[in-house]
Amino acid sequence: MITKYGYDVFFIILAVVVVGLLLSWHYVEWKPLRFALIAILFVFFLFTLNFFRDPERVTPQNDNYVISPADGTVVVVKEVFEDEFLKEPAVQISIFMSPLNVHVNRFPISGRVAYFKHIPGEYLVAYEEKSSLRNERTHIGVENARSKVFFKQIAGFVARRIVAPLVVGDSAVAGNRFGMIKFGSRVDLFVPSNVRVKVKVGDKTVAGETVVAVFS
């Protein structure tokens, strides 16, 4: 299944690959070069197909759970003061998404979108901590009657577009898709400090399935 957030790029690349294959087959006479070009185009298509895949996920049903918003590797778990949305001591959990990960993002809790902001910026390597403050990103806050969380979609060195078609007031359901970051990126999740964090640096997460924290 291909994510709807990537239809534009996927079908453009598909068209380019098909045209390239036809041109290589009909107009490149030297067979080693012809088959090399075909192989390169085929690998490029497989990479694109892999990147824009959007598998179904089974989300644990518990109102106290905070679900991972991204596939990837946990690169930061630390205590901070989050002064933009939570406005209280918090725990930051940062997940690095390589180009080989699924890049569709999912809501960590159910509720309503109470905060949304897009910030233009740079394209530093998303693995670096300073990318959280300097790269292009979106800031999203979700709250319900019991709790709230804050998270950032951060564009990386390769990523050049963040997709998050949200507005304040939208409904959020834990585990449901809300957007994606194209070609390598990072998601920073901030939860109140009274949660029990369930992941550590180096752990792998699966968006919509991995429980990263539990509210007391």
Higher pLDDT, 154 or 199: 199
Same domain, 143 and 210: yes
Region of poorest pLDDT, from 21-30, 72-81, 152-161, 201-210 = 152-161
DSSP H/E element including 212: strand 211-214
Same domain, 46 and 85: no
Same domain, 104 and 205: yes
- Position 124 scores a pLDDT of 55
Name the token pair of 4.
């709807």
C-alpha distance from residue 65 to each of 108, 109, 211, 214 (Å): 8, 7, 6, 5
45 found inside a domain? yes
58 found inside a domain? no
The candidate with the shortest Cα–Cα distance to 38, out of 51, 48, 24, is: 24
> Is the pLDDT score of 14 beyond 90?
no
Residue 162 sits in which domain range? 65-214
Cβ atoms of residues 208 and 67 within 8 Å? yes
Query: Over the chain, what is the mean pLDDT?
Result: 88
Question: pLDDT tens digits for 67-122?
Answer: 999 999 999 999 999 999 999 999 999 999 888 899 899 999 999 999 999 988 65
> Is the pLDDT score of 144 beyond 90?
yes
Same domain, 156 and 187: yes
> Is the pLDDT score of 150 beyond 90?
yes
How far apart, in whole angstroms, are the C-alpha atoms of residue 108 and residue 148? 10
> Is the pLDDT score of 131 beyond 50?
no
Same domain, 78 and 114: yes
Number of domains, the chain: 2
Same domain, 44 and 126: no
The amino acid at residue 190 is F
Same domain, 197 and 92: yes
Same domain, 117 and 148: yes
Active site residue 185: yes
> Is the pLDDT score of 27 beyond 70?
yes
The pTM score is: 0.84
Same domain, 86 and 11: no
Which of 24, 94, 147, 185 is the catalytic position? 185
